């Protein structure tokens, strides 16, 4: 049996669909001494903003049943450091496609960051995280309103000629109008889902576990929810999807692809086990053989 794990994402060939999710794998070079980064399908680099950010006060990560909560607050060295130093350093270590994950708090910030990423030869994709609050619109999250999501996509599309993916928030009543708005404004693909907003309380101290009170919930418990979102959007849009949320095994990758994803991001599993991605990649051909799948691309969206 062939067991071909390759997929094509917005015109770029990936040798397999497994991508470490932004914020769970650093910038990649931190793991270069543990395994060959060339084994990965691609790498979604740590989320980057226009200016350097220290992030939220601690505690900002907490384990809980079925996953974990995080309120890191986009700690990062800023876009200039990414394009001038970090991305070229990662590119020197591997030929794996690199995805710049961009966050912003205004349309101008998104635009400037995308323009700078566009000029960086080491970067192959731009992934725009629209789960950030618009500081000019009273803190409304860009990804919760089709018009706001369309505005960010339009600004990003003008700023870059690289394949553009918009990362969608699940904290909405209906994700389909938001996904369609991004597609109509020129997105080459969509990444979904980002974390769900959650909270835990320390009953002994009688206060929230996180200093930020709430945080993003991720982990295995998200997989059924993520599959539902991916399947809904796959049936409503024609552009490729990167599915994420609770993926921790080769079986999960295949399930996500059957739901409609072309590639899959692995997040919390990498925090639990930094070697999760290569382990999943090793499992894929074996599981494909068990299921009678010769070419992984053939199962995309079959459900």
Ordered domains of the chain (ranges, CATH): 7-55+73-197+217-299 (3.20.20.70)
User: At 257, is the pLDDT very low, low, confident or very high (cuts 50, 70, 90)?
Assistant: very high
Closest CA to 272 of 217, 195, 226, 220: 220
Q: What are the strands of the beta sheet with 164-167, ordered from one edge?
A: 18-20, 263-266, 241-244, 189-192, 164-167, 125-129, 98-102, 43-44
Placement of tokens 């996953």 in the chain: 67
pLDDT digits (tens, 9 = 90+) for 203-231: 999 999 999 999 999 999 999 999 999 99
- What pLDDT does 131 receive? 86
Residue 135 pLDDT: 58
What does residue 253 show for φ and ψ, rounded to 5 degrees? -60, -50
Instruction: Extract the tokens encoding 234.
Output: 């796959």
Q: What value does the mean pLDDT take over residues 281-286?
A: 98
Structure tokens at 1: 């049996």
Which residues belong to the active site?
132
138 falls in which pLDDT band (50, 70, 90)? low
- The pLDDT tens digits for 31-90 are 999 999 999 999 999 999 999 999 999 999 999 989 999 999 999 999 999 999 999 999
What does the pLDDT read at residue 137? 64
Rounded average pLDDT over 251-279: 96
Cβ–Cβ under 8 Å, residues 142 and 130 = yes
Q: What is the mean pLDDT of residues 116-130?
A: 98
d(CA 97, CA 95): 6
pLDDT per residue as tens digits for the range 167-207: 999 999 999 999 999 999 999 999 999 999 999 999 999 99
State the chain's mean pLDDT as an integer. 95
């Amino acid at each position: 049996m062939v067991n071909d794990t390759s997929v094509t994402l917005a015109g770029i060939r990936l040798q397999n669909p497994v991508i470490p999710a932004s914020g769970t794998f650093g910038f990649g070079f931190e793991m270069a001494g543990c395994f060959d980064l060339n084994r990965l399908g691609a790498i979604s680099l740590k989320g980057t903003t226009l200016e350097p950010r220290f992030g939220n006060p601690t505690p900002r990560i907490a384990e809980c049943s079925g996953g974990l909560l995080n309120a890191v607050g986009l700690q990062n060295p800023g876009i200039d450091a990414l394009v001038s130093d970090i991305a070229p350093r990662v590119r020197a270590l591997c030929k794996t496609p690199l995805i710049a994950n961009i966050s912003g708090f205004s349309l101008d910030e998104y635009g400037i960051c995308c323009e700078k990423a566009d000029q960086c030869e080491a970067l192959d994709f731009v992934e725009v995280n629209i789960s950030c609050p618009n500081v000019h619109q009273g803190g409304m999250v860009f990804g919760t309103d089709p018009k706001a999501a369309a505005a960010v996509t339009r600004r990003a599309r003008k700023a870059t000629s690289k394949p553009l993916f918009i990362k969608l928030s699940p904290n909405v009543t209906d994700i389909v109008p938001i996904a369609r708005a991004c597609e109509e404004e020129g997105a080459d693909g969509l990444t979904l889902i980002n974390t769900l907003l959650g909270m835990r309380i320390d009953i002994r101290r009688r206060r929230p576990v996180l200093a930020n009170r709430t945080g993003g919930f991720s982990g295995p418990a998200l997989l059924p929810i993520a599959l539902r979102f991916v399947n809904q959007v796959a049936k409503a849009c024609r552009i490729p999807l990167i599915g994420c949320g609770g993926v921790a095994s080769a079986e999960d990758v295949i399930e996500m692809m059957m739901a409609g994803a072309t590639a899959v991001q692995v997040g919390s599993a990498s925090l639990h086990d930094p070697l999760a991605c290569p382990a999943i990649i090793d499992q894929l051909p074996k599981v494909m053989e068990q299921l009678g799948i010769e070419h992984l691309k053939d199962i995309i969206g079959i459900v």
